Structure 1
């Protein structure tokens, strides 16, 4: 008879979810420097060794929290393959893709923006934190490249593809959203700004 490890897998997933939830709360409340593995472990009801074993330390824990925030869950499905990205993939005009992409960026910003504001406010204080920001910047560049490459193939770009990619990469930076948030902008404001800016500067 084959061994049924479904209960064990479910328990492991529940432990992971508890640790990630506790870590997210800790990062938002105490910041990166003020968050400790021990405090996260206590809040999640596990040992510090369990957290280290699963996430490899505070920087790894932060990356896992960020990934779940961006995706909306912990399922191993790339963001670009999720249903919420469908409107961007199926847009048939530049107006449609500008609206769909702005709505999608607003969704991701709403999920991960609060965490990234905390992270960016502490940038330059810890090498691991700076490495995390560079990783996130690199992932955003990959996403911007995928988007603008597709738009170029459809003849939708206003200018040079490389410059268009870089413009998009900057426009959707969490640092840009953090500046808007400081000025009291809402996510609705951000979505409207991004849609109009895409139309005026990147999309033909």
Structure 2
């Protein structure tokens, strides 16, 4: 059911995808969709949660082994490299769904609460990575934590990934390298 919904959301958008169309695509009864998820918005939330994590394990983002490894990297540039790579991998899995959610939130208001929650979570993650750079004494002295969080939030946002990769045709690896270099420059002052 989730894969059918994903296919329809990405191909047709949130507004044009109905519970009926998801049921037809998944070859199940409409009542099965409602019983399993309750609403179209809940289906989208489930899809995003699973694809961000890459699995169905209920482990918070900041406790996932690869995230912990990145945060614990001794070299600040290695931390940034791993952070950007992890973000690229997430967006390769979930980028189209986040664009569906963003569009639904801005055009119809449906999903606005979910989109705002996603943005808040991304800010929490960026703050934790910034605090890790502060602890390593790697954050530029002339840069406040708040400004550093803002820079990370924008550079690592799905909106920028969508613009450069989907609309402008950059490869995900080109995006990753450019964002890595930008992070090093803007947050630590290091040139790569």
TM-score by structure 1 length? 0.83
Over aligned residue pairs, what C-alpha RMSD do you find? 1.8
Whether the 8 Å CA contact 2:76–2:136 is kept in 1: the answer is no
> Displacement of 1:121 after TM fit?
4.3
Q: Deviations over 1:164-199 (max 9, x none)?
A: 112111111111111112111110011101110110
Q: Matches of 1:123 and 1:38 in 2, distance apart?
A: 21
> Displacement of 1:117 after TM fit?
2.9
Matched residue, 1:102? 84
Number of equivalences? 186
More divergent stretch after superposition (130-139 vs 21-30): 130-139
> Displacement of 1:137 after TM fit?
0.8
Q: Matches of 1:92 and 1:124 in 2, distance apart?
A: 40
Alignment of 1:143-158 (within 5 A): 143-158=125-140
Matched residue, 2:37? 55
> Displacement of 1:93 after TM fit?
1.2
Q: Which of 131, 139, 148 pairs up with 2:121?
A: 139
Q: Which runs of 5+ in 2 are unaligned?
A: none
Matched residue, 2:175? 190
SS of match in other structure, 2:110:
helix
Matched residue, 2:26? 44
More divergent stretch after superposition (172-181 vs 111-120): 111-120
TM-score by structure 2 length? 0.88
SS of match in other structure, 2:133:
helix
Q: Deviations over 1:10-42 (max 9, x none)?
A: xxxxxxxxx211111111111101111122123
